Amino acid sequence: MERLGRFEHNRWVGDKRSQVVHDVDNCSAEDTLAELVSAETYICFGPDTLAEARNRGYKRCAQCPGARDAARSEAEAVAASS
Ligand SMILES: [Zn+2]
């Protein structure tokens, strides 16, 4: 999916209200991301990594089907390599 223009330099975008971080490359709920932009409660991370988001107490989005699929395939890749 195309990144929203707002997030073209960021992959990980957090929602300050729910402390959930969205993987913009994989989250398929464009409505959720658009709502986040309009509510202006998003936060970007530096560095732009999941580890940094987690350090700040953010949990990875588990709502969007695209994000779930990406998380599952990453988990499978980790399992396969161990
Ligand atoms: Zn999401």
44-73 pLDDT tens trace: 999 999 999 999 999 998 877 777 788 888
The encoded tokens of residue 75 equal 């988990």
With respect to residue 74, please indicate whether it lies within any of the assigned structural domains: yes
Structural domain count, the chain: 1
Cβ-proximal residues to 31 (8 Å cutoff; 6+ apart), any chain:
none
At residue 59, the pLDDT reads: 94
Distance 46 CA to ligand 1 centre (A): 19
pLDDT band for position 15 (50/70/90)?
A: very high
With respect to residue 28, please indicate whether it lies within any of the assigned structural domains: yes
Distance 1 CA to ligand 1 centre (A): 13
Distance 59 CA to ligand 1 centre (A): 11
Distance 79 CA to ligand 1 centre (A): 23
At residue 5, the pLDDT reads: 60
With respect to residue 59, please indicate whether it lies within any of the assigned structural domains: yes
CA distance 48 to 57: 15
Q: Which domain holds residue 42?
A: 12-81
pLDDT at residue 2 tops 70: no
What is the pTM (predicted TM-score) of this model? 0.76
Distance 21 CA to ligand 1 centre (A): 7
Instruction: Return the HEC string of the chain.
Output: CCCCHHHCCCCEEEECCCCEEEECCCCCCHHHHHHHHHHCCEEECCCCCHHHHHHCCCEECCCCHHHHHHHHHHHHHHHHHC
